[in-house]
Structure 1
Amino acid sequence: MKNLTYIFLLFIFACNEGQDEITVYNGRIESETVRISAKTVGDIDSVLVDEGESVKKGQLLAVINTDKTKLRKKIQQAQLNEISANHASIQAQLKQLEAQLALGNLNLGKIENMLSKGAATQSQKDDIQTQVDVLMAKQTALKTQFNVIASKKEQLNATIDLTNLSIQDARIYAPINGVILSRFHTEGEGTAPGVPLFEMADLQKMTASIYVPLEELPDIQLSQSADIFISGKENSIKGSVSWIASESEFTPKTILTKETRNTLVYAVEISIENPDGLLKIGMPVDVSFAD
């Protein structure tokens, strides 16, 4: 998110009536914006909203073509099917070897017993031992192959998950309720992850931004009530202080008078509810604070 408009202090003036003094700060209305970017690569199939259009959170804004991505998924799925078949085949071979090893070890035990009684020869015992050793070597090799294929299968599954996510990301939805401020691309144009597609803002929640001199800053507190005046409206709009800068800065360069250009000031933001849409981005306002 970013601030759409640059904020500046136009001038601070006071109205004197007897002993009362009301300080009025000039500033501008702004709104926090959301930039919606593409998350996948492809040509834009459709853009479903125009600039200035109000949208709801979760509303479909645009669709990116996924033909190439879906084709890539078919290839990945075919590879996965082949690997899964090999995996199953090796698993079956391992089960067969386990049965052969069990039988071989049983025979080896019998021949060792017979050898101790003189009913068998060492050569017979060595032959069976060799058979068992060969089976164990095969089992070790198959287990290694089984684990390698299992790892490849896991990696390919993860790749397919990413491809599925890419297909899902081809549908662009509004992240908030608001208004489309800018549309950066149209149908047929190519896009890629990180490329901005839209910029939008919730115009029912606005901010008046002003600058306050150091000597007047102690009179302003967080959550303090504020009155916002706009041209053409007699009554003020209520707001409250939502942020006070912790560091000072020089008066913005748009202030060119000798009296103010070297003044250190603090940025202050006032949050304002804007359900009727009276406040517009960039609109100049006057702000005063309740005692």
Structure 2
Amino acid sequence: MNRYPHILLSLAITIMAGCKGQNDYDASGTFETEETIISAEASGTLQAFSVEEGQNLKKGTQVGYIDTIQLSLRKKQLESQIEATLSQLPDREAQLAALQTQLKTATRERNRMRNLVEADAATRKQLDDAEAQVDLVKDQIKALRSSLSVSTTSIRRQTSPLEVQIEQINDQIAKSRIVNPVTGTVLSTYAEPKEVTGVGKPLYKIADLSSLILRAYVTGDQLPAIRLGQQVTVLTDEKGGEYRKHSGSVVWISDKAEFTPKTIQTKDERANLVYAVKIRVKNDGYLKIGMYGEVKLKQ
């Protein structure tokens, strides 16, 4: 009968040690990450889409494309309209050729009259008439050039809106290519090939899991002992009741107190108000989103 008190004493010591081990941390919380939802930037049939959950994607990788046939046809139509409009441009050289010929003739006639006047074979009035004819043809050439310039400018301006529309279509065609914008791991997919998608419709969710954020909560008494950039020890559960240790860095401290979340226990369970902190932990492949973690402020 004397052995039972010893058994009860040993059991009590074990329970007390277990309780002490459970509270051997300063804060606790769950792991999270910055998730990015990639949405379609164009409308149409999803001709190709090669994204699977758990797939690692690098930034700049094309993972699919949306049908662009209608956009291409619209672009060809606009290019044809521009070509037709530009065909109305006046032929400057052809229209000026006749006046240039008249100018040469008038210039020769003036020079001939000048020689005749010097030889007293023609009157001064005839020379003045010849020079006036040269000036007249020059004025006609100047006026025609101005008219042709105005006409050319007007026609080219008619093509400007069409060129802008082509640029818009080129942008839409570029956005029809689904290019992964961030390096990370695909968490969820929301579309399948051959489905019809639209602008803003989610396609997949991705996150960088190379490091995770542990959002933990500390009491006001603990707050003075925490600073940005501080190195802390993060503990996660392992088999056999052991802890796996990770090194973390404090990257954010809330400047506002909040009520203790129901799923979170702090070192001082009597405190009603706590402060949220974020601790970045490098992921060795063991950490998962939603996993529970504990923090020891002193390493």
> What TM-score, normalized by structure 2, do the two folds share?
0.73
Match of 1:248 among 229, 249, 256: 256
Q: Which stretch of the first structure deviates more once superposed, 98-107 or 158-167?
A: 98-107
Alignment of 1:161 onto 2:167: yes
| Counterparts of residues 78-157 of structure 1 (less than 5 Å) | 78-87=80-89, 90=90, 92-93=91-92, 96-97=95-96, 100=99, 104=103, 107=106, 118-120=124-126, 131-157=137-163
Residues 110 and 130 in structure 2, CA contact (< 8 A), matched pair in contact too:
yes
User: How many angstroms apart in 2 are the aligned matches of 1:26 and 1:170?
Assistant: 44
What code does the residue aligned with 1:188 have?
A: K
CA contact (8 A) 2:237 2:244 kept: no
**Aligned counterpart, 2:279:** 270
- Aligned partner of 1:187 among 190, 193, 197: 193
- In structure 2, distance between residues paired with 1:215 and 1:151: 71
What corresponds to 2:206 in structure 1? 200
Structure 1 residues 113 and 40: CA distance shift in structure 2, 3 A: farther
CA contact (8 A) 2:29 2:214 kept: yes
Q: Distance in 2 between matches of 1:256 and 1:268?
A: 13
Q: Which amino acid aligns with 2:198?
A: A
Letter of the aligned partner of 1:45 in structure 2? Q
Identity of aligned residues (%): 27
Structure 1 unaligned spans of 5+: 1-14
Change (3 A) 1:112 1:173: same
- Once the two structures are superposed, residues 189-228 of structure 1 have per-residue CA deviations (whole angstroms, 9 ceiling, x without a partner) of 3333333221101112211111233332221122211111
- Displacement of 1:255 in angstroms is 6.5
What letter corresponds to residue 244 of structure 1 in structure 2? Answer: I
Listed as ranges, the gaps of 5+ residues in structure 2 are 1-18, 118-122
Which amino acid is 2:71 matched to?
A: T
Q: Which has the higher helix share?
A: 2
Q: CA deviation at 1:23?
A: 4.7
1:216-249 CA distance string (max 9 Å, x none): 222112221111111225231111112223x213
C-alpha change, 1:106 and 1:213, in structure 2 (3 Å) is farther
Root-mean-square deviation (Å): 3.7
Structure number with the higher strand fraction is 1
Question: Which residue of structure 2 lines up, in the alignment, with residue 4 of structure 1?
Answer: none
Aligned length: 267
| Cα distance change on mapping 1:236 and 1:134 into 2, 3 Å | same
SS in 1 for 2:218: strand
**Contact 2:99–2:140 (CA under 8 A) maintained in structure 1:** no
| Cα distance, 1:139 vs structure 2 | 2.4
What is the CA deviation profile of residues 127-184 of structure 1, one whole-angstrom value per residue up to 9, with x for unaligned ones?
6655554443332232122123333445434432332332232221222332211222
SS of the residue 1:168 aligns to? helix
Q: Partners of 2:150 and 2:260 in 1: how far apart?
A: 69
1 CA distance for matches of 2:135 and 2:262? 94
Q: CA 1:123–1:94 in 2, change beyond 3 Å: closer, same or farther?
A: same
Q: Report the equivalent of 2:245.
A: 236
Contact 1:101 1:136 in 2 (8 A): no
Q: What amino acid maps onto 2:186 in structure 1?
A: I
Corresponding position of 1:283: 291
Tell me how far 1:256 sits from its aligned partner: 10
Distance 1:113 1:156, change over 3 A: farther
Counterpart secondary structure, 1:279: coil
- The amino acid of 2:65's aligned partner reads V
Distance verdict in 2 for CA 1:97–1:253, change over 3 Å:
farther
Greater shift, 195-204 or 122-131, is seen at 122-131
State the SS of the aligned residue for 1:145: helix
Amino acid aligned to 2:183 = N
Which residue number corresponds to residue 7 of structure 1? none
The residue identity in structure 2 corresponding to 1:286 is E
The alpha-carbon distance between structure 1 residues 60 and 110, as it changes in their structure 2 partners (threshold 3 A), is same
Alpha-carbon distance, 1:68 to partner: 0.6
- Larger-Rg structure: 2
Q: Amino acid of the residue matched to residue 100 of structure 1?
A: L
- Letter of the 2:295 counterpart: V
In the alignment, which residue of structure 2 is the partner of 1:48? Answer: 50
Pairing partner for 1:68 from 62, 67, 70? 70
